[in-house]
Structure 1
Amino acid sequence: MRNSFNPRFKPSNLYLWLVFLILYAPILYLGYYSFNSGETMHGFEGFTWHWYREVFADTRLLIIVLNTVVIALFSSAISTILGVIGAIAIHRTRRVRRQNALLSLNNVLIVSPDVIIGASFLIFFTMLGIKLGFASVLISHIAFSVPIVVIMVLPRLKEMSPTLLDAARDLGATEWDVLTKVVLPVIKSGIFAGFFMALTYSLDDFAVTFFVTGNGFTTLSVEIYSRARQGVSLSINALSTLIFLFTLALVVGYYFISRRGQAGAAGRRGRNAEWGLPNK
């Protein structure tokens, strides 16, 4: 007898929706009161754009936004280049034990607590005499973004068939041609995904940046924390809502890039099957 129970009402689906509700309810609550004409979150008095206008009228805040975006773009671009190089180096390592060791070292910064990473960078920069500011924040963001890029790019490399590289070499391609005309186009979706993930992590990071910022240089996350300590202001709600929407746009972009990469990989496997080539 066919089960007439609607699968959309399974307990697992209800649990999933409950988890999403718990996660996003505070964000929606914060965004809702960013349009409040009052000055507190104890009651919604009326709709207004005042707090958003206040955010865009704050020159110091706009400079901090610019600092955050510059740090995110520079660190993401540099970490993407280094991450692609690292992923290719790990992929070309023949010994499984050595490859696993390299992957473990790569994942240290991902699994380590942000407080430990931030304190370690602070001690490191102090020992080297590097002044805390733009340079220290940039180096720190590059350091914790590189492993993310490696994780994004490495699966694309493993999906690539070795016969493509052998065919390119047989046709007279140099190693540089193989890299630029075969490898990089194949892993392009992973590169873009790694870049956007690194950009998202850089924009959202607080713990590491809090330790290594200084000399009048700060980022949005640290600024929001500083303002929140002085008292709850709905301008913080407006600023946080804008950051959330921007981050959400990055995540959606990453999702579509990943879907495109999966579709491309499925197409390559289909062509390989049609031509009698192995899928790896």
Structure 2
Amino acid sequence: MTQKLAPISKLYLLVIFVILYTPIFFLVFYSFNSGGTMYDFEGFTLDWYKELFSDTRLLIIVLNTIVVALLSALLATIIGVFGALAIYNVRKRKTKQALLSLNNVLIVSPDVIIGASFLILFTVGGMKLGFISVLCSHIAFSIPIVVLMVLPKLNEMSPTLIDAARDLGANEWDVLTKVILPYITPGIMAGFFMALTYSFDDFAVTFFVTGNGFSTLSVEIYSLARRGISLNINALSTVLFLFTTLLVVIYYFILQKNKPRGMGARK
């Protein structure tokens, strides 16, 4: 049964959303300012967006960011799913808790520490900083996120489903591909989109492991901001915000599509 929110709760939620989204809408609003500053709105213009999309170097950086985000999310999802299956199949409670604790280290650790650790690792290993170092680091900090998204779905799954499949003659591969993976698909999709969003927005770790000649949007926005206030930053940030919002909307529709039909009718 659904419970109605009290008026004070609705007011509280409204205040929280206003606080969270006002700076974003302020940034988006002034990305159309012809005055070139964030103080006085002189008139509407799309010049900043035209300048943004005519910048070849910036378009290459956008492409770099998208490629790194997609590849790291895909590889982290594959590794994270098998990692979650391995943790789920551990019988000893203490061992399982130890593995979960190790999995959560990269989530609770400060990004600065993680970035510095990867920088030391790549430097000692002789790896040149650039695309590969950024991709490897993004995969590493995305794997625990995928594991945490997939494990709850595995814990929800009834063991009788697997037993029934084996009784009907299914081998281990059939059990994995025809029973387990279809059941945990919502968790897999959630892990993929979470990893994609984290990779796309990450700054701290990327700042440490990126090298000369390779950059991502978050690092580029930071570099532009250090040079002074420019509405190019507003336009770029607006595009980034809209892209992230689009990912959330796609993820929402995927969840609605995978939701059992009977659940939507319950009140």
SS in 1 for 2:44: coil
**1:69-108 Cα distance to aligned partner (Å, 9 max, x none):** 0000110010000000000011111111111111111111
Write out per-residue CA displacement over residues 116-170 of structure 1, whole angstroms, 9 at most, x where no aligned residue. 1101111111111111100100000000000000011111111111111111111
Partner of 2:83: 86
- Aligned amino acid, residue 236 of structure 2: L
Structure 2 length-normalised TM: 0.94
Q: Which amino acid in 2 is paired with 1:194?
A: G
TM-score by length of 1: 0.89
Say if 2:49 is the partner of 1:68. no
Separation in structure 1 between the aligned mates of residue 67 and residue 203 of structure 2, nearest angstrom:
16
Deviation string 1:187-224 (CA, Å, 9 cap, x unpaired) is 11111111111000000000000000003100000001
Residue 143 of structure 1: aligned partner:
140
For residues 140 and 255 of structure 2, the distance between their equivalents in structure 1, rounded to whole angstroms, comes to 24
Q: Distance in 1 between matches of 2:129 and 2:39?
A: 39
Structure 2 gaps of 5+ residues are none
Q: How far apart, CA to CA, are the structure 1 residues paired with 2:165 and 2:6?
A: 52
Residue 108 (structure 1) aligned to one of 105, 125, 129 = 105
Aligned residue identity for 2:223: S
Does residue 174 in structure 1 map to residue 174 in structure 2?
A: no
Q: Unpaired runs of 5+ in structure 1?
A: 1-6, 271-280
Runs of 4+ aligned structure 1 residues displaced above 4 Å come to none
**For 2:21, which of 20, 24, 27 is the aligned residue?**
24
Cα RMSD, aligned residues only: 1.7
**Corresponding position: 1:200 with 2:197:** yes
Asked whether 1:40 is paired with 2:56, we answer no
1:220 partnered with 2:217: yes
Identity %: 69
Of 148, 152, 156, the match for 1:155: 152
Query: Given the alignment of the two structures, is residue 57 of structure 1 paired with residue 54 of structure 2, yes or no?
Result: yes
1:274 aligned partner: none
Q: Cα distance 1:8–1:45, how it changes in 2: closer, same or farther (>3 A)?
A: farther
Question: Are 1:231 and 2:225 counterparts?
Answer: no
For the Cα contact (< 8 Å) 1:159–1:265, is it kept in 2? no
Q: How many correspondences in the alignment?
A: 261
Question: What is the deviation of 1:11?
Answer: 2.2
SS state at 1:42 partner = coil
Equivalents in 2 of 1:56, 1:9: separation in Å?
46
| In 1: Cα distance, 2:31 partner to 2:121 partner | 40
